[in-house]
Homo-oligomer: A and B are copies of this chain.
Amino acid sequence: MKIGIVGGTGDIGEGMAMRLSQMHEVRLGSRDLSKAHEASQECRLQVEGRGLPCSLGGCSNQEAVNFGDVVVLAIPFRHLVGTVESLSGLEGKIVISPINPMEKREFFVYAPPEEGSAAVLVQRLLPGSRVVAAFNVIAANRWKAIDEELDYAVPICGDDAGAKQVVLELIRTVPGLKGYDAGPLATACMVECITPLLLNVARYNRMHDVGIQFR
Residues of A that sit less than 8 Å from B by CB: 106-110, 151-153, 155, 180-184, 186-187, 189-191, 193-194, 196-198, 200-201, 203-205, 207, 210-215
Query: Are A205 and B180 also in contact (CB < 8 A) when A197-B155, A210-B214, A212-B212 are?
Result: yes
Tell me whether chain A's interface is mostly helix, strand or loop, or mixed: mixed
Q: Give 6 closest A-B pairs by Cβ, nearest first.
A: A181-B204, A190-B197, A183-B200, A107-B183, A213-B213, A190-B193
Tell whether, in the assembled complex, residue A200 and residue B187 are in contact, meaning their CB atoms are under 8 Å apart: yes
- Shortest CB distance A199–B (Å): 9
Question: Which chain B residue shows the least CB distance to A193?
Answer: B190
Given contacts A187-B196, A190-B196, A190-B200, 8 further A-B contacts (CB under 8 A): A108-B187, A152-B215, A180-B205, A187-B197, A191-B197, A193-B193, A194-B197, A212-B214
Tell whether, in the assembled complex, residue B155 and residue A180 are in contact, meaning their CB atoms are under 8 Å apart: no
Of A110, A196, A214, the most chain B CB neighbours within 10 A belong to: A214
Pull 29 A–B residue pairs with CB atoms less than 8 Å apart, ordered by A.
A106-B184, A107-B184, A107-B186, A109-B186, A109-B190, A110-B189, A110-B190, A151-B215, A180-B201, A180-B205, A182-B197, A182-B200, A182-B204, A183-B203, A187-B196, A187-B200, A189-B193, A190-B200, A191-B197, A193-B193, A201-B214, A207-B214, A210-B214, A210-B215, A212-B212, A212-B214, A212-B215, A213-B213, A213-B215
Contacts of A187 in B (CB 8 A): 107-109, 196-197, 200
Contacts of A151 in B (CB 8 A): 215
Contacts of A198 in B (CB 8 A): 214
Tell whether, in the assembled complex, residue A215 and residue B205 are in contact, meaning their CB atoms are under 8 Å apart: no
Q: In the bound complex, how far is the Cα of B197 from the Cα of A124, in angstroms?
A: 22
Contacts of A109 in B (CB 8 A): 186-187, 190
